[in-house]
A and B are shown apart, each in its own frame.
Chain A
Amino acid sequence: MSGAAPIPVEGTVRRAAPLSESFRELGLLVFILLLCGLFQLGNHNFLTLGNIRDLLTNTAILSILSVGMMMVILTRGIDLSIGSIIALAGMAASMTVSAHRDIHPLLSILEGVAVGTACGALNGLLIARFNVLPIIATLGLMNVIRGGTYLLSGGAWVSSYQMSDGFKAIATGKLLGVSYPILIAVAINLAFVYFIDHTRTGRRIYAVGSNPDAADVSGIPRRRIIWLVYTIMGALSGLGGVIWAAKFASAQSDSAVGFELSVIAATVLGGVSIAGGSGKVSGLVLGTILLGILNNALPLIQVSPFWQMAIQGAVILAAVLTNVLVKRNNQRSALQRRVI
């Protein structure tokens, strides 16, 4: 057969390998610190406790969703419907609260998660069972769900005075000085680290993305895993949706429009390869924080928030192209070491 042999790197591989992988995280960390320094120079209010707390709270939702997106992208997929799921879950929870003021906030959260899970499961069904391309399935459902949000609410908003204080406290409440959203995000991330690095199912997610054919052959339930990641993505979007509605104290049918793009940007920036199979949680966290900093700091240094979108797009493109160039370079040097 004329196929090329796997492209390896000659020579013994020692502890050097983990170092080269951490290179990216290190780079991100350095970049973050540099940026913070620059932003602080531009506006002394940047590194204040108040602003940092603001930043982290705003980034919390981004973080929760990027956890889900990382899993989706690990399996070589994509999910454009998460913004709509946020809207639907938020709307459902808000409308329930609006009608039953004394409902416990935890139940609201559960409701949101349930709604999100159902949406995610539907995505998963289309993609895993019916072989619909992820882009198509999630693009279609994105609109169906958002339309559904509109229909559910009858076009009406749920605004602050209709929400119970308990509900709004989901976003504004604090425990030991740290706001709930941050705590939830931290908890989700910790749970995620455990899941993806220390459980069999988590590792299988990597396997499915790394080599889907090998996964099929070695008996890994590839379809079930793919269905699972979209379902989890949906659940997390639902959770994010409730926090979103609480935080902005309003639920509209056009909440979170375009948010999926920020989430993808954060994930890709964090080093999760769009080709699937690789990415680390540490990178994800750093990427999310970096994006959160950009969103927070740019207005502070008088950069119009209207540049946000273009910057996010540029970030995604740059991250993805960098990945390709690095991979090509590796392949080239590996070929050079093949002795003919």
Chain B
Amino acid sequence: MERTIRVDRPWSWRSFFLQWEWLLVLIFLAVHVVNSLLSPYYFNADTFLQTPMSFLDKAFLVLPMTMVIILGNIDISVGSIVALSAVLMAVAYNAGLPMPLAMALCLAVASACGLLNGILMTRFKELSSVIVTLATMIIYRGIAYAILRDQAAGGFPAWYSALGWDSVGGIPIIVIAFAACAVVFALLLHRTSFGRRIYGMGSNLTASRYSGVRTDAILLTVSVLTGLMAGFTALFLTSRMGSTRPNVAQGYELEVIAMVVLGGVSTSGGKGRMAGPLLAVFIIGFLNYGLGLVNIPAQVLLVILGLLLILSVLVLNLRFRDRHPRTPPATEIAGP
């Protein structure tokens, strides 16, 4: 008896709306409601176009970090990569290198840092991503300190600040750049074989390998992408600050990881979507803005982020607990 197998995807209103991302949308709206209560002039185009400029620099990191966490790994060296590439760019420029080249150098250095992370992880699989990125986090920022000590470096050409402060057609350049990158990353993750393989590796690394996924190549690519995006962050951050020091982007790793996890991406890997972290970026960004409205110091944001990170992980752990475990316990399979 032949049974036809359906190819129409099952769909229901209920399951559609029961997704994590809708919760985030609610929180997003709630943040805006609260903010508007705090400031009567809140709802205008200016707020929504200008405010993101202040927090989108680190948002570039959220894109590859989503991939990293879906892979089941973590990367706490991103802040240090930002610092090192920014510092080298500033130093190179001040040593005579033309600014466009210095910017290219920034991206190159950042990508190289990411590449090193990837090489260490693929060559030394015994080491977890935690310890590898912990070590490189220290080394990269350490090099930045060794180069620039406690000085600042800057003196960039006037047009450079346009990158982080100006707009084109009314829309800030940084927003355009981020939107473009977000689209690229979202498509990569959700519509390409590359993204599919990332999910596979995060869900079951062994089975992916046996199924012909080039796991090393994918890990390396994601690492380089992480570095590259850190380079973008460095470019925009430095442009906005006008100068750079070795201690920039300190704490970025926590913020970025918190945004990704808040976005519904489970640290156990294989799950989550780009939409969530993107929403989380704006939630945190506008939340921070709101805190500023009431003159709450920036440190409070760190507390909130830490709490959000932990809470999100707790909730996600509970949510995914009953689903099929990643590696079934040996006794169950072995049977007789």
B residues near A130, Cβ cutoff 8 Å: 314, 317
**Which residues of chain A from 64 to 117 have a CB within 8 Å of any chain B CB?**
78
Among B74, B142, B306, B317, the residue within 8 A (CB) of A135 is: B74
CB distance from A310 to the nearest CB of B (A): 3
CB distance from A74 to the nearest CB of B (A): 15
CB distance from A216 to the nearest CB of B (A): 11
CB distance from B12 to the nearest CB of A (A): 31
Q: Does more than half of chain B's interface fall in helix, strand or loop, or is it mixed?
A: helix
CB distance from B61 to the nearest CB of A (A): 15
A322 to B127, CA, bound (A): 11
Judge whether B124 is part of the interface by a CB distance below 8 angstroms. yes
A residues near B253, Cβ cutoff 8 Å: 139
A148 to B297, CA, bound (A): 12
Tell which of B130, B138, B150, B313 has the most Cβ of chain A within 10 Å. B138
Contact A324 B136 (CB under 8 A): no
Contact B126 A275 (CB under 8 A): yes
Contact A148 B303 (CB under 8 A): yes
**Which residues of chain A from 256 to 272 have a CB within 8 Å of any chain B CB?**
261, 264-265
Among A140, A143, A320, the residue within 8 A (CB) of B251 is: A143
Task: Considering the complex, give the chain B residue whose CB is closest to the CB of A1.
Answer: B334
Contact A310 B139 (CB under 8 A): yes
A261 to B297, CA, bound (A): 26
Contact A140 B127 (CB under 8 A): no
A78 to B258, CA, bound (A): 18
Contact B307 A139 (CB under 8 A): no
A residues near B143, Cβ cutoff 8 Å: 310
Report which B residues bind A (CB closer than 8 A): 74, 76, 124, 126-128, 130-131, 134-143, 145-146, 149-150, 246, 251, 253-254, 257-258, 261, 267, 297, 299-300, 302-303, 305-307, 309-310, 313-314, 317
Q: Which 10 interchain pairs have the tightest Cβ spacing?
A: A310-B142, A313-B138, A147-B303, A313-B139, A309-B142, A144-B306, A143-B306, A150-B299, A140-B309, A317-B135
Contact with B along A228-270 (1 / 0, CB 8 A): 0000000000000000000000000100000001001100000
CB distance from A134 to the nearest CB of B (A): 8
Contact A310 B145 (CB under 8 A): yes
Contact with B along A292-312 (1 / 0, CB 8 A): 000000000000101111111
Q: A136-B257, A150-B297, A320-B135 are in contact. Are A304 and B149 (CB under 8 A)?
A: yes
Contact A132 B317 (CB under 8 A): yes
Q: A136-B267, A142-B306, A275-B126 are in contact. Are A307 and B300 (CB under 8 A)?
A: no
Judge whether A126 is part of the interface by a CB distance below 8 angstroms. yes
A residues near B267, Cβ cutoff 8 Å: 133, 136
Contact B306 A140 (CB under 8 A): yes
A308 to B257, CA, bound (A): 27
A residues near B128, Cβ cutoff 8 Å: 274
Task: Considering the complex, give the chain B residue whose CB is closest to the CB of A155.
Answer: B297
Subset of 29 A-B contacts with CB under 8 Å:
A78-B134, A126-B314, A131-B317, A133-B313, A135-B76, A137-B313, A139-B253, A139-B306, A140-B254, A141-B306, A143-B254, A146-B299, A147-B303, A150-B297, A150-B299, A151-B300, A253-B299, A274-B131, A306-B149, A307-B146, A308-B142, A310-B139, A310-B145, A312-B138, A313-B142, A316-B135, A321-B124, A321-B127, A324-B126
Judge whether A327 is part of the interface by a CB distance below 8 angstroms. yes
Judge whether A190 is part of the interface by a CB distance below 8 angstroms. no
Q: A146-B302, A309-B141, A313-B142 are in contact. Are A141 and B310 (CB under 8 A)?
A: yes
CB distance from A318 to the nearest CB of B (A): 9
A132 to B146, CA, bound (A): 35
CB distance from B175 to the nearest CB of A (A): 27
B residues near A327, Cβ cutoff 8 Å: 126
Contact A139 B142 (CB under 8 A): no
B residues near A135, Cβ cutoff 8 Å: 74, 76, 130
Contact A147 B299 (CB under 8 A): yes
Q: A310-B143, A310-B146, A317-B139 are in contact. Are A143 and B302 (CB under 8 A)?
A: yes
Among A147, A275, A310, A313, the residue within 8 A (CB) of B306 is: A147
A42 to B116, CA, bound (A): 34
Task: Considering the complex, give the chain A residue whose CB is closest to the CB of B300.
Answer: A147
Judge whether A314 is part of the interface by a CB distance below 8 angstroms. yes
B residues near A131, Cβ cutoff 8 Å: 317
Contact A316 B146 (CB under 8 A): no
A residues near B141, Cβ cutoff 8 Å: 309
B residues near A328, Cβ cutoff 8 Å: 126
